[in-house]
Structure 1
């Protein structure tokens, strides 16, 4: 089957990765990109592309993700022998503010959740069916206590530092719009995309 060259920008805007969409069944995925060499009954992995399926027929997709997205670099990322991702100028080093400024979504379509998460600061950008997960190392905080830092700092004081240090972890696409706070965190905070940009820019 012919290799598909798919746009990273289009993926972030639509939640579709070329012919791969998050509402497909296992059989439909097999037709489009094949079957991975090591396939679990409900979880398939094609390099950085990972797909979760329902355990009941027709084994419809729960979501798919680009894992280890922080390692994306260069012009292209080969996901499978049938699917190649054109990075369109983005990379694993692209900051949250740069994604939000890229015209992928309307200013307030994107929501930014952040919270202390274990020893780091966790952050999600949620826009339509897309969720982008970032983590922020806390080595810039004197005692590396993320929860205390966020409690003591206003967003206007902390967001520029957080944005400049945020590292992209993974990108999920769901069948339906899904807004979710930082997994495993309780005291999460919410900003609109435009609020986040203003704070990250120090305005």
Structure 2
């Protein structure tokens, strides 16, 4: 018997940092039963005969561990194929109500959106990559932004200014930051960063 249709709230899953019908650690075959077939997948037929990267419509991506029973390790809500309208349809049975403007929100839009206790939110910034990045980490959720800047020295100088606290840095970077995705992860979300080094020491936003 197919599962009953379920519509979740985007605001709710961001607040709770979890998706009720997709608990992290769920085996691949159980995910398939919950979600139905993906729109597509990517696999290396030689190294990984089981597809471990699934893509659903509405901008949802799933990653699985390479060992049987292939538990779910990551759920990404991507800016690629971002949902439009009031409801995002991932599959025939699973939908999401767009009751928070995630895809259009700035960094400060998330922080001031009433989603989290800001004492539990950490901000990281990295300039040692092709495009400077900023992320928000809370619980097992990581929200990633890329900065569209022509001169990286401007960013680096802002980070080095002793008179600039984190709130001022976020205000400076807000207009040049572009949402890239929200990642629901197993373990510490900061371990998902690429590169894993060269990030500013995480700071609590509300402590500034």
In structure 2, stretches of 5+ residues that fail to align are: 44-50
Matches within 5 A, 1:85-124: 85-124=96-135
> How many residue pairs get matched?
193
Residue 62 in structure 1 maps to residue 73 in structure 2: yes
Task: Output aligned runs, 1:101-180, within 5 Å.
Answer: 101-139=112-150, 143-145=151-153, 148-154=156-162, 155-156=164-165, 158-180=169-191
Give the drift of 1:147.
Answer: 5.6
Deviations 1:64-111 (A, max 9, x none): 111226944432222222221112132311112221222322121111
What's the CA shift string for 1:117-167, capped at 9, x where partnerless? 43432011111111111111114xxx3446643454453453312023321
**Secondary structure of 1:160's aligned partner:** helix
Aligned with 1:5 (options 4, 7, 27): 7
SS of alignment partner, residue 162 of structure 1: helix
For 1:181 and 1:54, locate their aligned partners in 2 and report how far apart those are by CA, in whole Å: 14
* TM-score (ref. length: structure 1): 0.81
Q: Is the 8 A contact 1:112 1:124 kept in 2?
A: yes
Q: Is the 8 A contact 1:121 1:135 kept in 2?
A: yes
Q: Which runs of no fewer than 5 residues in structure 1 stay unpaired?
A: 199-203
SS, match of residue 123 in structure 2: strand
Cα gap change, 1:186/1:54 in structure 2, threshold over 3 Å: closer, same or farther? closer
Equivalence for 2:48:
none
Alignment partners' CA distance in 2, 1:181 and 1:38:
23
Q: What SS is found at the alignment partner of 2:88?
A: strand
Q: 9-18 vs 41-50, which deviates more?
A: 9-18
Match of 2:46 in 1: none
Which moves more between the two structures, 94-103 or 72-81?
A: 72-81
**Cα separation, partners in 2 of 1:120 and 1:150, compared to 1, 3 Å:** farther
Distance in 2 between the 1:177 and 1:89 partners? 24
Query: How far off is 1:113 after superposition?
Result: 0.6
Partner residue in 2 for 1:201: none
Matched, 1:193 2:205: yes
Contact 1:77–1:87 (CA under 8 A) maintained in structure 2:
yes
Structure 1 pair 182–60 and aligned structure 2 pair: CA distance change class (3 A): closer
Deviation at 1:33, TM superposition (A): 0.5
- Indicate the SS of the match to 1:45: strand
Q: Normalising by structure 2, what TM-score?
A: 0.80
By how many angstroms is 1:184 displaced? 1.6
